[in-house]
A and B are shown apart, each in its own frame.
Chain A
């Protein structure tokens, strides 16, 4: 079970308090009607899915009920950092995928 540090509560809590919300840093297109089908599909469905470092969104469902981001290794499950929404990760070395 993961131990996740909530950057708002500033506490290390168990995984079951959180829910996972998928890959982070995917910005909603500002003008969706301007996109081609392929660009829209990329936004909706296509994900980096790296084996290695992954930036992802978590929701502290049983705690402060706020969203934050985490940088986690999808192979070793090590969590390198958690940071509030809107901030950039300190660790950005992509091992598995390119974006």
Chain B
């Protein structure tokens, strides 16, 4: 695989940039693999990359029913942070944040990771108490976090409405300076390119329609391109996890909901950080292109349609306009939805299952993008060793039986 560099850019200028290698190949599936990964989103591609890179397992196929990164990877609001309340979650997301920091170099692909800081705004006394508790927990876990008062928030974000007379006044915020945003598509493309160059097969337009088992162990997957044998099958399919689990006759503690986001027309730079509000359920940042990237909430009812209810967007936009009156006349360009799999404790499931050789990485709900590198890294270890990575161990499927839940609902600084 040709490396991207300043020199290669210069060299290709002479041929009018018409001779760049394809970033990855699209082969026909082989009859068998050591590991088949179902789902070609960021998490699945990262898993494939770390399997090949860290564990030397290169007879790996990633099966994607649509196109790479076309699901939630390409539909989220690209926020990266690790300021989670509980130790287990903080370790997982901070592991991910540390991988984000060297990711562009590691993949030789610019994922545009920009540590512009993340604000989680509090609107009342209880919000601020929760924020202080969470910030203290974060600092004990070595995560950079601070509590800011209204004045400090206003200094960071001059366009925010700091009037005490609005419905949800800004009483302060938590601030994680090492948080930020990344280019979501580039993360999928970067992992895809790097995994492919290590020998991983990326097979698109390949839908898994069944998981074949023999004597309690996985032997392969049925697909629209025929049967593919595999000793290990790893499902990383977010909102479709329930469907995949039904193929294997197991049940998961998940429900799928549409989550919406929207972007505005591009405007001049006006917001150089990420502002999130738990209480009014709105978050906003500005992309390098200039569009405001706005995240809304999930629908109240289960759904597999990649679209959401209009009143959810209306609610979010009215909150954004109250917080940022300057945005009230910005026109919105596009809105869309992705199907997220919500677990009862708002934490992921990174786990072996009762079926030998079948692994699930799911339940990331509304906040999986930030975890992409860490999720892939610990899941690859779990698959390769057939034993949970120490960071992934608390996120096993059995926690719903034992009661060792990691309750990040609300505590994770954003309502799920």
Contacts and interface: CB of A to CB of B under 8 A. Distances in A.
Interface of A: 1-2, 15-16, 19-20, 22-23, 37-38, 41-42, 44-51, 54, 56, 72, 74-77, 96-98
Task: Name the residue among B344, B400, B403 with the largest chain A CB count within 10 angstroms.
Answer: B400
Contacts of B301: 20, 56, 72
B253 A96 contact: no
Given A49-B302, A74-B302, A41 B242 contact: no
B242 A51 contact: yes
Interface of B: 240, 242-243, 246, 249, 251-256, 300-305, 309-311, 344, 400-403
B300 A19 contact: yes
Contact of A38 (B255, B304, B401): B401
> Can you list the 5 inter-chain pairs with the closest CB atoms, starting with the nearest?
A49-B242, A45-B253, A20-B301, A20-B300, A41-B401
A74 B252 contact: no
A56 to B, nearest CB: 7
Contact of A49 (B255, B309, B401, B402): B255
Contacts of A38: 401
B242 A96 contact: yes
A96 B243 contact: yes
Contacts of A51: 240, 242-243, 256, 304
26 contacts: A2-B309, A15-B309, A19-B300, A20-B300, A37-B401, A37-B402, A41-B253, A45-B253, A45-B400, A46-B252, A47-B242, A47-B251, A47-B253, A47-B255, A48-B251, A49-B242, A49-B302, A51-B240, A54-B302, A72-B301, A74-B302, A76-B305, A77-B305, A96-B242, A96-B243, A97-B242
Contacts of A50: 242-243, 246
Contacts of B253: 41, 45-47
Residue picked from B255, B301, B303, B402, most chain A C-beta under 10 Å: B301
B302 A56 contact: yes
B85 to A, nearest CB: 20
B344 A74 contact: no
B246 A75 contact: no
Contacts of A97: 242, 246
Nearest to A40: B401
Contact of A42 (B240, B251, B309, B403): B251
A23 B253 CA distance: 12
Contact of B303 (A23, A74, A98): A74
B262 to A, nearest CB: 17
B304 A75 contact: yes
Contact of B400 (A2, A23, A46, A54): A46
Nearest to A94: B246
B310 A1 contact: yes
A37 B256 CA distance: 24
A74 to B, nearest CB: 5
Contact of B344 (A1, A45, A72): A45
A41 B400 contact: yes
